[in-house]
Structure 1
């Protein structure tokens, strides 16, 4: 996939204010910190406006790709949902907002909560390039996600790559605060790592206890069947622009973002038979699938003997829904 033209243009024009060599050095430092496990959203790793721009260049495309994948999955599972309002908590430069308006262009009112003024300033500048008034006129609230902010319930609430920035003792109360702010659905996205999935599992268990149901990715609202030594995650491939390759020092024309997520819902969704939780293994006469189903994890083998099923199985990808 690619970034929407308006967003891609906005990013490149904002980055034009920094020499490419300097931007590349800032991105290299952020990349080193990210690979070492540092939480980039925490101070003091991002202190200046230029560092915030470098963060945008480094992470916005990948987090957009993850958010778009997740929200598209949610729309497929909740086809009757037509949200009017979106709340993005820990919004950064507003990445999830752009993805959400691609999935639900009917969104009318968007509220973003972000503690860093540099991120807010960047987000507002990017928003000026949008054709949708909901993006241009979005309300930005400068506040810590664990601070005092009171907003009315929103149809869609999203917290993307936020839980891993919080102290462990604060996560439970944060989850409940967001659920209380949710009119229809609440979405969490975290890195596709064992630690990221552990946070998603924690959210899942906590809010199932509060009466929530699972809209995605799980095909059920029972206990998670993923073994403790495994983790549920997905991947989205994003095409890199020339500038993106240049500042990241990469030669590949794409990058893959891996992430874990869960969508909790107050409204009923579509029942499905399962979801593909690993890359399908396609062989000459067989397709091997690892599926999460209402009955648990199933390793299925589809053979050429069943022509229709085999034909359909060959089209499935990691993350595909099985109806």
Structure 2
């Protein structure tokens, strides 16, 4: 496959046109074409190179992602999100040995994310395929575990060899072969006419090409990527400012010296319990009577007589 973004741009502009099969695979002539000597052309701007890659890969990638998920809107959203991420990391993607593979990995990872099941619109069933044979194949594909479905699509749909499929799915070659054989066995059991890999490849291509799935315009994808990058940049700045403010407030209001905690109260021994007043003794009765008979005012209250 094409190993440089400039080869993609050359195919789309100055070179011979590229005819891509519905499943996104290339012919042998197209595989060898990037190694041929290309005529000197004017250097492309990053936006032009991105648009060339998008126009070359996006239509087929949307159809591939639809076979992977069985949902049209999710397929378009996954491809758009993958290209938005590619535009944010364009210096890295532009020099990658396989930019189409880079974008395909991002699209597949987003499409197979388990969080989509919690979205309200994904709880409703998708409109079935018009063709009855296509509906049967799509039903079998969606019953496969996601790793087997992805391996089958890359090997029998896109046309990657076994080591490339293993590298893209981040699995060992024996594990990839085991997944591929299991997926083929399930399809052959339920759809015997697709036991031949070449028949399965043709049916996958026809199923993907039967759906009218249109990708968004590259300019809208680039602008959406820039808006998303600005949003997250502003969110990061706001979070940093809030963190700095919280830290400053904490330093301003925090105590500057150690304050030992108040010790818990301890019970005092030897104190008689509080009780109610009982009857007065004869001495207390005599003292109360004497106090009542004494003057309530006058100098005697200030300077009592000493006897």
TM-score range, shorter chain: under 0.3
| Higher strand fraction (1 or 2) | 1
Instruction: Give the structure with higher Rg (CA).
Output: 2
If asked which structure has higher relative contact order (CA below 8 Å, sep 6+), I would say 2
Q: How high is the TM-score relative to the length of structure 2?
A: 0.23
| Higher helix fraction (1 or 2) | 2
Q: How high is the TM-score relative to the length of structure 1?
A: 0.22
